[in-house]
Amino acid sequence: MDKENTGRVLMKKYEVGRLLGKGTFAKVYYARNMMTSQSVAIKVIDKEKVLKVGMIDQIKREISVMRLVKHPNVVQLYEVMATRSKIYFVLEYVRGGELFNKVTKGRLKEDVARKYFQQLISAVDFCHSRGVYHRDLKPENLLLDDNGNLKISDFGLSALAESKKPDGLLHTTCGTPAYVAPEVISRKGYDGAKADIWSCGVILYVLLTGYLPFQCPNLIDMYRKISKADFRCPSWFPSDVRRLLFRILDPNPSSRIPISNIMEYPWFKRGFDDKLFKKKAKQKIDAGEVVFDSDDNDTVMAGQEMGKLAILNAFDIISFSARFDLSGLFEEADHKREAIFTSDLPASAIISKLEETAKGLQLKVKKNDHGTLKMEGLNISERGILAIDAEVFEVSPTVHLVEIKKIEGDALEYEKLWKDGIRPALEGIGCAWGMSK
């Protein structure tokens, strides 16, 4: 369903329009319900791809989550359909885009930030009451509707209460580094609700300041700051907000303020409409049993309408990879001598690609068993032989951080080699890129 399929009628019901976004396994299109003229977003998942990588259970978990959450501040799911080759999620179309886009223009006024925070906390509290933990809360996953109301999206990394281990904790390391709680980084198990609360605190700080509380040029230093909750509030911060933030961004999850207490906090309650935000779903919604058949034919296998509206996210609703998103953490500029990127490939595959790239650029390669590879030029300049180090770090079992830097030789020679050879060759394996001094 690419450009040539724009205007196609899906299931004799939806007229499909422009592409809104795409991920590894799916694309999201704007569409119109031909019977009601309602605008919707349709997530089209390639069944063959998800079968190939064994992600069917994750999709089924997504559907379970959708059935459990119904709240005015969560993007709604209207319908789930499937053919032999595709799975379709028909979702609420949220016109206002990401809250992130507002924050990039600068800090928000206190009253506006409070309104978004109230809506966020209300929705997160509801999700927790249904045993759903989002685990990737950040401004990019918060959308705004026509009336400026917040809608939580992207439950791709969410977990259900039954996902807990015998110790009563979750153990999957996931999320976005700048927003992730210290106990998640420690890999010793964590309470999903308390981890979500931490992320909400980071979001509140970002809304009020326009920047992150834990800003560092590299991931290790940032994790060190997060583990100690090493952050500062600007001098102009209202004292009541400052007190609330220090209680939310408490590195000890046992003493971190719970949502029930946040909602009783004087600053939070200002202008808060209890009746609206305490609205709960009165009935569960059956998403229907989606048939996951490996046959390629595009005939309908299952497609039960949901009658009433259920819930899910819009743009890029399901993140099928547990990789970290480091975009925005690194400032890219000219004449930098160090590059950092993340990859969800195994370390061995990354090293192989680095070797292949070096040989293609006629560089000598030396490597050891500790994830370090050294590349050397063949020509001697006034500044000696060009030498480049590449080191691979494991962030989590599925995410690796790669650091490439010039250690010897001419800077201009390195910059040309980087721009014309190394960077283009590695573009395909990097999830998110950044540069540092």
Asked if residue 165 belongs to a known ligand binding site, the reply is no
Question: In Å, how far are 67, 153, 179 from 321, measured between CA atoms?
Answer: 22, 16, 17
Strand residues in 310-423 grouped as ranges (E):
338-343, 364-367, 372-381, 384-396, 399-408
Query: Which residue type is seen at 8?
Result: R
136, 191, 196, 250: the active-site residue: 136
Q: Which of 21, 115, 27 is nearest to 73 (CA)?
A: 115
**Residue 9: in which H helix or E strand, if any?**
strand 9-10
Q: In whole angstroms, how large is the CA radius of gyration of the chain? A: 24
**Angle at alpha carbon of residue 342, lines to 376 and 152, rounded to 5°:** 165
Q: How far apart are CA 364 and CA 374, in angstroms?
A: 8
Q: Which of 375, 382, 372, 376 is nearest to 410 (CA)?
A: 382
Query: 136 catalytic, yes or no?
Result: yes
401-426 burial, b for 16+ CB within 10 Å, e for fewer?
Answer: bbbbbbeebbeeebeebbeebbbebb
**Residue 159: in which H helix or E strand, if any?**
strand 159-160
Residues with catalytic roles: 136
Binding-site residues for ATP sit at 43
Residue list, annotated binding site: 43
